[in-house]
Structure 1
Amino acid sequence: MTTNLQPRSAPALVTPLLAALALAGCSFIPTYERPAAPVPAGYALADPAAAAQAPSAADIDWRQYFTDPRLQRLIGMALGNNRDLRLAMLNVEQARAQFQIRRADEYPTVAGIASATRQPSAVTGQYGNMFQVGLGVTAWEIDFFGRIASLREQALAQYLATGEARKSAQISLVAAVAAGWLNLMADEELLDISRRTLATREESVRLTRLRFENGVSSELDNRQATSLAEAARATYAQQQRQRMLDENALVLLVGQALPEDIRASLPSARLVDAAPMQPLRAGLPSELLERRPDIRQAEHVLIGANANIGAARAAFFPRISLTASLGSVSNELSGLFKGGSWAFSLAPQLAVPLFDAGRNEANLQAAQVGREMAVAQYDKAIQTAFREVSDALAGRATLTDQLQAQRAQAAADAKRLELSELRYRNGIASYLDVLDAQRSLFATQQALVLTQLQQLQNQVVLYKVLGGGWSDAAAAAANAGQPADS
């Protein structure tokens, strides 16, 4: 419908648009209900290590939990330089732009138009000119049944999900840097044990060779001592390689080479001197739904899948679109802005789906299946979080006892080696007893370091799986591209 009229006031022209907007607002999005958590109401293990007043991990900034200044510097560098975290931030920006696009679809696009046509008259057959200039709205869909609004809600849920994914990426990065730093400390301690053991065994080889050359001991003693020395040498080479691999892994996380002062401090680092981490309150499994970004991410994905059903349902109903223009029309270019040249056109269109070969039905079915998949992913995220916390609590409950027992074992093996060497020098025992005591002490010392590492890393994991490591201040620093500790 196109009508040419005398000049009209702006309110009169927009009245039909306002009426159309008033009709919009229906929604076919199913009512969202959060699925019940598919986990027990409590953890199997009690929480004796954390007092009732101990804070939640989500309430502790990583600077408060990891108090070693060297580790704080490394984490800050990683937050500013890590490429995976940067990619997660870019994903958030992309999802935000997609949401803006969907939100813009709800509003008409107004464009300036200008046209000039020359065509023959249907009456006289003579050619004439037509000039037009003004504003136009092209094929604006009035969202009467909420299709565009549903797509906007889906885009919003996706944007929020990527925001939670960014938080989860930061939590994982903080924990990975802390674990990498502890690995390097353990590597240095294991290297020190291997160096001292190798030196001791090389001295044993020298002594047994002298005793063998002087007829005091047998060639078997000399060969056994040589075998143990070469085993220690092989272990030392293996640990050197592992030390380099662990440093390379930490460099990748940090996004740049380790500062020289931090590298120089590592040879003297010992796990027993590591900065303590404060106790954490595990709370209830239901609290993970609010603490863990990965669970919140899965829920936003579920909300988005729910909104997709609304869009698929709305596709079964008519689509109402509107094309309109307002401007000046004249058969002469010089007469465009003269009185009486103003005109407007309003062309509503109704499109009713009659036959689509089952496309809309298939889209609805796909949206419903997508929602069920999102429910399954949400349930799995909760169950995975429950399992991770339970595993960390199991480690906290048992690693302390294991560490105490291994410390006592290491002390006993050290005393055993001392007594075996004394008995051998006095001719009471064979050198085989000394070698066996050396092997036992070396293995016990290595196991002790690895258990210390496991206990400290368990504290890091517990902080991570309880949702610690995220803060708005760190996010602002990361978004600015600066280390969080600068």
Structure 2
Amino acid sequence: MTNYFVSHHAPFADVINKTKQHLVKPRCSARLLPIVAALVLAGCSTMAPDYNRSDSAVANEWQLDSVAQTQGLSSQQAIDIPWKDFIKDERLVSLIDMGLNSSRTLRETLADVESARATYRVQRSDLFPELDVSLSGDRSKASTGDISTSYEAAAGLSSYELDLFGKNRSLTVAEMEAYLASEETAKAAKITLIGEIASAWLTLAADSNLLSLAEETATNAKQAMDITQKRLSYGIDSRIDVASAETIYYSARSDIASYKTQVEQDINALRLLVGEQFDENLLAFALPGNDSVVTDVPAGVSSTILLERPDVLSAEHSLKSTNANIGAARAAFFPTISLTANGGLASSVLSDIFSGGASSIWSVAPSISLPIFNGGENEANLAYSEAQQQKYLASYEYAIQSAFTEVADTLARRATIQDQLDAQNALVEASTRSYQLSLARYENGIDSFQTALESQRTMYSAKQSLITTRQADLDNRITLYKVLGGGVAGSTNTLVNNDSQKE
């Protein structure tokens, strides 16, 4: 197994190595040797247990023999496909872009990332000594009447803890992993937002289609109702036929009112997701063709790609954070050594300090603190850290299992959706022919109106089901892309890299 802490220690190790190289040069004075030795010792490893990735309790492959071969970007993994390559409709691309810039929920998540980043930097500062420079003066008069003046210029560090047992490094690693977890959470939030906007956009399109279908059905039902009323006046049809014609007409009218409400609510939901006002030209008021909205994604991929999903990586970083906290809890059992030191110049004349005529002054004050008795606090902290590690280990493994289940469920739907679409299209064609024939037979006095009415209801229901199935097909493609971790290619840990460059 790979020790995943090695790469994260690299920035700190570089700093310590550079410090060692600088301090061990021959020009170092003998007075700095104790400090040099302490800093060299501080380069030892932490007391955190080695981290090894847990063996995931899922299969290596999705066992779905019926998964159809997908087209398009089949040679790539979804996680490598930027969302702008996956979404093909420019209207939807524009809406998602606006959402990524303006969504308040996403801003809240990104603020959490910045907070975690700041906390990590605060903790990391404990790895380095705090240097202060001071200039002071003193003028006093003794009881003898003599007046004395003194000036001092000094530089020094105060209470710098020599991290011999890696406590501060463990705490820094813990905060860094917490920060990385929040960054992965932000990536997951972006993927979720992309999927939610795309699904809401398609829902609006599908509901608009259903509204148009209800209006068309109401128009046809009104014509049929007029025919039965005229035939009633001629004594051909009965009032039962008129009442039957009215049922489908008013049912369609009811559907029109319901779908109009749903369309307005869909637009409101999109506004909330996007976070700002947008031009209605960006909306779809009819479902576009399946291949004109999104690109198909590969289905027959290894389940190991789930380890790169942002939510899984976030859970893993949280586990690593608790792993590092164990190191800090272990280090608390050992002595704490602090160093206070300063050096400078002193003179009774201020100008001599800057001209070289002053005397040198210095002081070194190391201190050591050894825990003897604290009522079991250190033991309790260690037990708590170990329990937290087990908690986050279970959370990490559950995240992997949940990710596998999501992909397996989505692939199961993907395997059958095309068969359902084909059958639904055939049903619409058959029910349409049946309605047209039964209506013609009714108008020619061959069949009763009840046969035509039943055919019309079957056709209406079949067309509704076709619309919802087409929406389900597009939603399934978007969901598959999302659960495979797509949408955030090339955006890994940029903030940590920036921090390393700055420092």
TM-score w.r.t. length of structure 2: 0.85
Tell me what 1:293 maps to: 310
Tell me what 2:131 maps to: 110
Q: Does 1:186 align with 2:203?
A: no
CA contact (8 A) 1:197 1:442 kept: yes
Instruction: Look up the equivalent residue of 2:392 and give its one-letter code.
Output: A
Q: Following the alignment from structure 2 to structure 1, what is the Cα–Cα distance between the partners of residues 316 and 412?
A: 28
TM-score w.r.t. length of structure 1: 0.88
Deviation per CA, 1:328-352: give whole Å up to 9, x if none.
3457878766745321111111011
Map 1:1-80; keep pairs closer than 5 Å: 11-24=29-42, 25-46=44-65, 47-50=67-70, 54-80=75-101
Provide the alpha-carbon RMSD of the alignment: 2.8
Tell me what 2:322 maps to: 305
Find the partner of 2:366 among 316, 324, 348: 348
Tell me what 2:392 maps to: 374
CA contact (8 A) 2:294 2:478 kept: no
* Higher alpha-carbon deviation: 252-261 or 95-104: 252-261
Q: Following the alignment from structure 1 to structure 2, what is the Cα–Cα distance between the partners of residues 268 and 174?
A: 20
Tell me what 1:165 maps to: 185
Instruction: Look up the equivalent residue of 1:144 and give its one-letter code.
Output: L
Q: Following the alignment from structure 2 to structure 1, what is the Cα–Cα distance between the partners of residues 168 and 370?
A: 17
Instruction: Look up the equivalent residue of 2:416 and give its one-letter code.
Output: T
Find the partner of 1:174 among 194, 208, 213: 194
Structure 1: gaps of 5 or more residues: 1-8, 477-486
Map 1:391-470; keep pairs closer than 5 Å: 391-470=409-488
Residues 142 and 277 (structure 1 numbering): CA distance in 2 closer, same or farther, change over 3 Å?
Answer: same
Q: Does 1:240 align with 2:257?
A: no
Structure 2: gaps of 5 or more residues: 1-26, 495-503
CA contact (8 A) 2:174 2:322 kept: yes
Instruction: Look up the equivalent residue of 1:44 and give its one-letter code.
Output: Q
Q: Following the alignment from structure 1 to structure 2, what is the Cα–Cα distance between the partners of residues 222 and 307?
A: 78
Q: Following the alignment from structure 1 to structure 2, what is the Cα–Cα distance between the partners of residues 357 and 117?
A: 47
Find the partner of 1:93 among 114, 120, 125: 114
Partner secondary structure for residue 326 of structure 1: strand
CA contact (8 A) 1:56 1:281 kept: no
Q: Following the alignment from structure 1 to structure 2, what is the Cα–Cα distance between the partners of residues 406 and 442?
A: 12
Give the fraction of aligned pairs with identical amino acids, expressed as a percent. 37
Q: Following the alignment from structure 1 to structure 2, what is the Cα–Cα distance between the partners of residues 367 and 267?
A: 54
CA contact (8 A) 1:131 1:329 kept: yes
Partner secondary structure for residue 322 of structure 1: strand
Find the partner of 1:141 among 155, 158, 161: 161
Q: Following the alignment from structure 1 to structure 2, what is the Cα–Cα distance between the partners of residues 464 and 26?
A: 39
Tell me what 1:324 maps to: 341
Residues 130 and 358 (structure 1 numbering): CA distance in 2 closer, same or farther, change over 3 Å?
Answer: farther
Q: Following the alignment from structure 2 to structure 1, what is the Cα–Cα distance between the partners of residues 32 and 108?
A: 45
Instruction: Look up the equivalent residue of 1:432 and give its one-letter code.
Output: Q
Tell me what 2:229 maps to: 209
Partner secondary structure for residue 127 of structure 2: coil
* Higher alpha-carbon deviation: 144-153 or 205-214: 205-214
CA contact (8 A) 2:158 2:340 kept: yes
Tell me what 2:277 maps to: 257
Q: Following the alignment from structure 1 to structure 2, what is the Cα–Cα distance between the partners of residues 205 and 320?
A: 95
Give the CA deviation at 1:363.
Answer: 0.8
Deviation per CA, 1:107-127: give whole Å up to 9, x if none.
110112345678999xx9x99
Q: Following the alignment from structure 1 to structure 2, what is the Cα–Cα distance between the partners of residues 475 and 439?
A: 56
Tell me what 2:243 maps to: 223
Partner secondary structure for residue 472 of structure 1: coil
Q: Does 1:365 align with 2:365?
A: no
Instruction: Look up the equivalent residue of 1:214 and give its one-letter code.
Output: Y
Partner secondary structure for residue 105 of structure 1: helix
Deviation per CA, 1:153-193: give whole Å up to 9, x if none.
11111122122122212221222222122112212211111
Q: Following the alignment from structure 2 to structure 1, what is the Cα–Cα distance between the partners of residues 291 and 278?
A: 21
Instruction: Look up the equivalent residue of 2:342 and give its one-letter code.
Output: S
CA contact (8 A) 1:49 1:279 kept: no
Residues 267 and 29 (structure 1 numbering): CA distance in 2 closer, same or farther, change over 3 Å?
Answer: closer
Q: Following the alignment from structure 2 to structure 1, what is the Cα–Cα distance between the partners of residues 317 and 491?
A: 23
Give the CA deviation at 1:210.
Answer: 2.5
Residues 297 and 450 (structure 1 numbering): CA distance in 2 closer, same or farther, change over 3 Å?
Answer: same
The count of residues paired between Structure 1 and Structure 2 equals 464
Q: Following the alignment from structure 1 to structure 2, what is the Cα–Cα distance between the partners of residues 113 and 10?
A: 24
Instruction: Look up the equivalent residue of 2:260 and give its one-letter code.
Output: Q
* Higher alpha-carbon deviation: 266-275 or 397-406: 266-275
